[in-house]
Amino acid sequence: MKNRFVLMGVAALAAAGSSVFADAVNMRFVGTGAGRAVGVQFWVGSTKVMDGNYFVGSLNQQFSGTGLTGNTANSLDGRTLGTFCTDILESVDTRWRVYDVVSAAQAPATGGVSNAAMGASRMSRLSQLYSYGMTTGMLNAFGAWANGDRTAGDNNDRAAAWQLLVWEIVFGDADAANWDLAGALRVAGLTNQVRNYFAQFRDNSRGLTPGVDVSAVARLGAQDQLLVIVPLPPAAYAGMGMLGMVIGAGYIRRRRARLA
């Protein structure tokens, strides 16, 4: 099967602030990080829209905030981070592109084959997972992969498990007994080590108080990435009184569809 890069990753910015006050960064893909090759299928209803052998894990993204607005751009300027992705139907782009920073509930922002934005409930589950990852030191302060102190093989297994768990939270049911064989996302060729880490990360993060507000670095036509970015852009503080109007009004989605 043909190998292609699949980019998955997560970001956290105050969710309401990122919905109201636009911020953006320049980003480009510069190489793979820790991960494994995994057989991946993606189904929309009864239609299989993706089937191949994919790199699943952290991918290295280079950021530039030059000329862009807000603390988001300033925080990421000049950094290269190993991110995970909330988007499975788009591709990696090695050219510099401008990405919007939005609430993760709005992601994935997908062109072409329709794909549902995750919504607030799945975003909350991601917040639990990222809280766990940052507390244990697997993720750094930006929510990027930081577990390189382990052996290469173990680091690859853990990163692959992390990415698969992000996917299952966004697209499937990570708690299902046959999570790998049914639903929108189906995978094959997993080692016992990857399976064990998947279960460990899932179970240890379940029940935690969501402590990380998850946002996405999103662009139509490219895979959306996830990071942890604080504080809010300065303009957000002046408009905190608007949050009550935002909360409960729902998230603006760029593209919606049902996964039957």
Predicted TM-score of the model (pTM): 0.80
Element (DSSP H or E) covering residue 62? strand 47-64
Give the pLDDT score at 109.
Answer: 66
Contacts of 235 (CB under 8 A, 6+ apart): 21, 70
Give the pLDDT score at 114.
Answer: 53
Give the pLDDT score at 84.
Answer: 96
Give the pLDDT score at 229.
Answer: 65
State the Cα–Cα distance between residues 10 and 224, nearest whole angstrom. 8
Torsion (CA) 8, 102, 42, 28 in degrees, nearest 10: -40
Q: Which of the residues in the chain have pLDDT under 70?
A: 1-22, 109-115, 229-260
Give the pLDDT score at 22.
Answer: 59
Give the pLDDT score at 112.
Answer: 53
Tokens matching residue 111: 């062109």
Contacts of 92 (CB under 8 A, 6+ apart): 5, 6, 7, 29, 59, 222, 223
Give the pLDDT score at 189.
Answer: 94
Residue 251 bridge partners (DSSP): none
